[in-house]
Amino acid sequence: MPIDDIDRRRSHEGLLALLGFTLCIPLANWLIGNVGTACIPDGPCLIPVAPGIHAPSGVIMIGLALVLRDMVQRRLGAGWAFGAIVAGAVLSGLVAPPALVFASAFAFFLAEAADMAVYTPLQRKRLVLAVVLSSIVGLVVDSVFFLYLAFGNLDFIAGQIIGKLWMVALAIPVVRWLRRRDERIGMTAA
CATH number assigned to the domain comprising residue 21: 1.10.1760
Contact 48, 91 (CB under 8 A): no
Task: Please give the pLDDT value at position 104.
Answer: 82
What does the pLDDT average to over 101-120?
90
**Cross-strand pairs, 53:** 50
Closest CA to 111 of 170, 14, 24: 24
Residue 57 lies in a domain: yes
Residue 190 lies in a domain: no
pLDDT at 93 over 80: no
Residue 26 lies in a domain: yes
pLDDT > 90: what percent of the chain?
Answer: 53
> What is the DSSP pairing of strand 53-56 with strand 38-39?
unpaired
pLDDT at 186 over 80: no
Print the domain residue range for 42.
Answer: 3-185
Residue, of 151 and 187, whose pLDDT is higher: 151
pLDDT at 189 over 80: no
Say how many domains are in the chain: 1
Residue 89 lies in a domain: yes
Each residue's pLDDT tens digit, 157-183:
999 999 999 999 999 999 999 889 888
Each residue's pLDDT tens digit, 47-58:
999 999 999 898
> What is the DSSP pairing of strand 45-50 with strand 38-39?
antiparallel
Q: What is the band of 190 on the pLDDT scale with cuts at 50, 70, 90?
A: low
Q: What is the band of 28 on the pLDDT scale with cuts at 50, 70, 90?
A: confident
pLDDT at 5 over 90: no
pLDDT > 70: what percent of the chain?
Answer: 96
